[in-house]
Structure 1
Amino acid sequence: MNMRPDPTFYASPRLAMEAPAEDFAYTLLLCPDASKPDALAVIDTKPGSPTYGRVVHTVPMPNTGDEFHHFGWNACSSALSPLTGHAFLERRYLIIPGLRSSRIYVVDTKPRPTEAKIHKVIEPEEVFRKTGYSRPHTVHCGPEGIYVSTLGGGGKDGTDGPPGIFVMDCETFEVLGRWEIDRGPQTLHYDFWWNLPRDYMVSSEWALPPQFENGIVPEDLLANKYGHRVHFWDLRARRNVQTIDLGAHHQMGLEVRPAHDPAKEHGFLGVVVDTTNLEGSIWTWWREGGAFRIEKTATIPPEPAPKELLPPLLQGFGAVPPLVTDIDLSMDDRFLYVSCWGTGEMRQYDVSEPREPKLAGSVRIGGIARRAPHPNGKAFAGGPQMVEISRDGKRVYWTNSLYSTWDDQFYPDGVPAAQVMARAAPGGGLELDGDYWVGFPDGYRAHQIRLEGGDCSTDSFCYPSV
């Protein structure tokens, strides 16, 4: 344990933006047919380095069939909380859940990223026994522990009781127990995040395991049986204080992105698809008069396409839905990045006025029908998916895989792992970096990215920017 706070803990978002640039990116690799173990790849992001944009270290796991998806740090800037913080922790360990196996790996990135190694393995039986949950998903480092959301309850198919959040000890990595005291009407789960000083949390909904593990269930989607509600929680009391239904046709509200500056009480939510017209959408929430409100503030239309360019799942529609599968907010809360996995577009919105997003930039790569190549001429299968932004807001990284069985339905020709990066102009605008192209070993797909020293979907802050 350090005797001084980790230098990668930042009191405010503005101080995080002034920190040194990342030298490495960590990316999860999954093997869709479980013929070999999933892995963690370490990528050199230092311009001018002889190994720039290349995998310089890999940590293979000892098991197969984990299905890596999301992951996070054991500790981050939230540890500087004046009330319940642990300021002498280190941002050292990556907590990597297996979404399909419910197994959790703890990977030690010290003494240097190129020597990262497995520190501990938490078997699924411990998760089941202590929480009653399964299918661990999102990981967030809180002031006093590690919070992990789940997509399944108990039982083999994960439908014995609702999913929720559990807490792990941030030093021993022991699973402590489920977080909720009063979940109210919450029965589905996906993402969550919070405003620590304002003492509230926001969570979203995807589906139960039978609705996603073997692929999307078209009948359930068209019957509006996927998640479409947003839940607001009293963080300290661990209870649901308000639930808002977006309307059943707004299917799969996934990523939640609160403003980084805790003085601001608003945030954003991405909705995958509107079943009435195939649109994707962005929603803005805010708190006013003690109550939370949310409204649709931007829509992204589907794109017509000939039947022969569409997978069987979409041929009856004659169009490609944008499929908003990830969003990310820059550290200064100015730009929101929106992954349109179906149409192959990364959108950049200026959200200086949170309830009036304005399209500021866009790049095309991949896509179900367009299949736009990278500037280097290489084919990019899939579309922009998991997106991560550097602390200074100048570099936007993304990968191309959503979830193994869904990849196969929407991109039946395959989604070989790839990672790219775009340069963001200070006043808005995006341009793909022609020199940054990360190739991975055959048989893998690439999912979430974490950046050395923290990034825009990792840290929550305890103090406002000055």
Structure 2
Amino acid sequence: MYRSPAEAAAAPPEPLAYVAGFDRAAARPDALFTVGTDPTSDTYGRVLARTDLSTLGDELHHFGWNACSSALAHAGHHHAERRYLLLPGLRSSRLHVYDTRPDPARPRLVKVIPAAELAAKAGYSRPHTLHCGPDGVFLSCLGGAGDEEGPGGVALLDHETFEVLRAWETDRGPQHLAYDVWWHLHHNVAVTSEWGTPGMVEGGLDPELLLGRRYGHALHFWELDTGRHLQRIDLGDEHQMVLELRPAHDPGRDWGFAGVVVSVADLSASVWLWHRDGDRFAARKVVTLPAEPADPALLPPALRPFGAVPPLITDINLSVDDRWLYVSAWGTGELHQYDVRDPFRPRHTASVRLGGITARAAHPAAPDLPLSGGPQMVEISRDGRRVYLTNSLYGAWDDQFYPEGTGAWLAKLDADTERGGLRPDARFFPHGDAFGGLRVHQTHLAGGDASSDSYCYR
């Protein structure tokens, strides 16, 4: 664990990447893959091991560590070790816990937390995103217990036993829809975002709900230590699906970025900045990506009436030094890089195309292979020099926007951290059979990465 962002960036580079994969047909177990990331090794860019889950139909999505740098907020207290990876099943509501010791390349299953425990102790289902916090593991969930559609919210788990302790919220105010959760530790503020309830997302994007502006379009601010709702900011109901949250890593700052998937007004996508404004928070749009006109004959059925490809911002990530913001446009197949030293005025510095609904842009390692899917989950090394991308969003949504299949690929880009710039690494491109027919969704890096830790010291 690292006391500060600078200490994290100065630590040795990651030797391994962990990648979550899932079987869309639910006929085989989902799996946790390990991939070699040491460029001096003959295992570089290769899948080293596959560890299958013990069940079927989980649909691994987001996952994370049991403990991280935020635990250092409790000076003098026992700190849990960053050792275990917790893998929630978005469809099954189960959690699988893997131990990365003694062999980090081959994690071993040590515990399965059943859906019934999550429902009984926290009142939630469909676990989506987890972050290790100072008091436990925060697990955002889309649904309520059992067949209840909502409200979704955040469950709190023990760092070391992984027992579900309780629901984190004590007064949720108007919050009903859920997606991500993050925080500003030094300011005792948590932030949550909105997607939809299980019934709104599990069958794919529902045009009636989208055009009816019924998906999430707000940010919520909370008192971190009590779970008490403080403020709701509505971004406007045209801005549908407020997903990933990326707060500044510098613990003295109290701003961050949120990605919005689509505007129903013009199919654009956007990034918003939340920031302190007096004794309240405010939010403003700082990045807009327009839709790209396209021949309807080349579009999937869901998009033909519009004659355009929406960018579909499905992930964003902020480098540990808070300088570089990366924005995944999964629809057009682009990863954008912005210089955000002034977070109110991001400056576009580079972009790379891979895949895309109509572009099907190839990777330099396989120039004759048209790619499906697009830059989706993006992960950044602690020093900011390496950017990892996976290409699957969510099974039902993959099928709508890439009906011929997404395949599976993991790409690494080299980033210029001085002037800006991105270049795909032709030596690093595990894809297709490398993942045994599973789709891949999220990557985390051994030793931590840009989205794993919140820091206690500047």
Into which bin does the TM-score normalised by the smaller protein fall?
over 0.9
The counterpart of 1:130, out of the listed 78, 102, 121, is 121
CA contact (8 A) 1:326 1:385 kept: yes
The answer for the alignment partner of 2:441 in structure 1 is 447
Aligned to 1:4: none
Q: 1:47 aligns with which of 35, 39, 50?
A: 39
The 8 Å contact of residues 57 and 115 in structure 1, kept in 2 or not, is answered as yes
- Counterpart in the other structure of 1:6: none
- The one of 410, 413, 416 equivalent to 2:401 is 410
Cα displacement string for residues 292-327 of structure 1 (whole angstroms, at most 9, x for unaligned residues): 000001100110110111000000000000000000
Pair 1:20 & 2:12 matched = yes
Q: Give 1:155 deviation, angstroms.
A: 3.0
Structure 1 range deviating more: 77-86 or 340-349: 77-86
CA distance in 1, matches of 2:120, 2:62: 22
Which residue number corresponds to residue 309 of structure 1?
298
8 Å contact from structure 1 (residues 306, 318) kept in 2: yes
After superposition, where does 1:30-41 map in structure 2 within 5 Å? 30-41=22-33
CA contact (8 A) 1:85 1:143 kept: no
1:171 paired residue number: 160
In the TM superposition, what whole-angstrom CA distance separates every residue of 1:190-249 from its partner, at most 9, and x where no partner exists?
001011111101100001111110111111101101000100011012111000000000
Q: How does 1:24-423 map to 2 (within 5 A)?
A: 24-82=16-74, 86-87=78-79, 89-156=80-147, 158-159=148-149, 161-376=150-365, 377=367, 378-423=369-414
**Any gaps of 5 or more consecutive residues in structure 2?**
none
Q: Distance in 2 between matches of 1:35 and 1:249?
A: 38
Q: Which amino acid aligns with 2:177?
A: L
Gaps of 5+ in 1: 1-8
Q: In the alignment, is the contact (CA less than 8 A) between 2:351 and 2:422 conserved in 1?
A: yes
Structure-2 change in CA distance of 1:453 and 1:65 (3 Å): same
Indicate the residue corresponding to 1:460 in structure 2: 454
CA 1:120–1:285 in 2, change beyond 3 Å: closer, same or farther? same
Cα gap change, 1:10 to 1:360, in 2 (>3 Å):
same
Instruction: Summarize deviations over 1:226-279 as a string: whole Å, max 9, x none.
Output: 000100011012111000000000000100100000111110000000000000
The answer on whether the counterparts of 1:416 and 1:442 sit within 8 Å (CA) in structure 2 is no
Shift of residue 115 of structure 1? Answer: 2.6
Residues 86 and 143 in structure 1, CA contact (< 8 A), matched pair in contact too: no
Shift in Å, 1:86: 3.7
> Does the 8 Å CA contact 1:147/1:166 hold for their aligned counterparts?
yes
Does 1:10 find its partner at 2:10? no
Give me the CA root mean square deviation: 1.0
TM-score by length of 1: 0.96
Q: 1:126, 1:83 → 2: CA distance?
A: 31
**Cα distance, 1:445–1:365 mapped onto 2, change above 3 Å:** same
Q: How far apart, in 2, do the equivalents of 1:316 and 1:442 lie?
A: 36
Which amino acid is the alignment partner of residue 439 of structure 2?
R
Alpha-carbon distance in 1 for matches of 2:70, 2:29: 32
Contact 2:354 2:374 in 1 (8 A): yes
Is the contact made by 2:182 and 2:190 (CA closer than 8 Å) also made in structure 1?
Answer: yes
On the 8 A contact 1:80/1:86 being kept in 2, the answer is no
* Contact 1:163–1:187 (Cα < 8 Å) also in 2: yes
Q: Verify the 8 A CA contact 1:399 1:420 in the aligned structure 2.
A: yes
CA contact (8 A) 2:74 2:134 kept: no
Report the Cα distance in structure 1 between the residues aligned to 2:41 and 2:155, rounded to whole angstroms.
40
Aligned residue-pair number: 453
- Alpha-carbon spacing, 1:171–1:246, altered in 2? closer, same or farther (3 Å): same
Q: Structure 1 stretch 113-122 or stretch 182-191: which is displaced more?
A: 113-122
Contact 1:55/1:438, CA 8 A, preserved across alignment: yes
* Structure 1 residue 144 displacement after superposition: 2.1
Whichever residue aligns with residue 95 of structure 1, its letter is: L
- Is the 8 Å Cα contact of residues 78 and 85 (structure 1) preserved in structure 2? no
TM-score by length of 2: 0.97
Amino acid at match of 1:127: L
